[in-house]
Chains A and B, each alone.
Chain A
Amino acid sequence: MVQISVDHDAKKMTFKKKNEKYELEFATIPGDALYPCALFYYMNDEVEFLPNYKEWLVCVFWFWLIGLSCKFYNQAKK
Chain B
Amino acid sequence: MIKKNIDEVNKKLTEYQASIQTSINTQNLWKKMSFKFSPTFKHADIKLLSDHLVKSQNSAGYKFAIMEPDIEKSGKISTFAFKIKQCTSNWVAVGMCHKNIVVSKNYGFNFSAIGHGGYMISANGGSWSNTKYDANNCVKVQIWFNSRHSSL
Decide whether A and B are members of one complex. yes
Size class of the contact patch on chain A: 35 or more
The B interface, classified by DSSP as helix, strand, loop or mixed, is mixed
Q: Are B13 and A32 in contact (CB under 8 A)?
A: no
Closest A residue by C-beta to B94: A38
B130 contacts across to A, CB distance below 8 A? 26-27
Query: Which 5 pairs across A and B sit closest by C-beta, in order of nearness?
Result: A33-B70, A40-B56, A42-B89, A76-B5, A46-B86
Give the interface of A toward B (CB within 8 A).
1-9, 13, 15, 17, 20, 22, 24-29, 31-54, 57-58, 61, 65, 68-69, 72-73, 75-77
**Further 19 A-B residue pairs, CB within 8 A, beyond A6-B79, A42-B60:** A2-B152, A4-B81, A4-B96, A24-B121, A26-B96, A27-B130, A29-B98, A37-B66, A37-B96, A39-B120, A40-B91, A41-B56, A43-B60, A47-B84, A49-B82, A50-B52, A65-B16, A68-B16, A76-B2
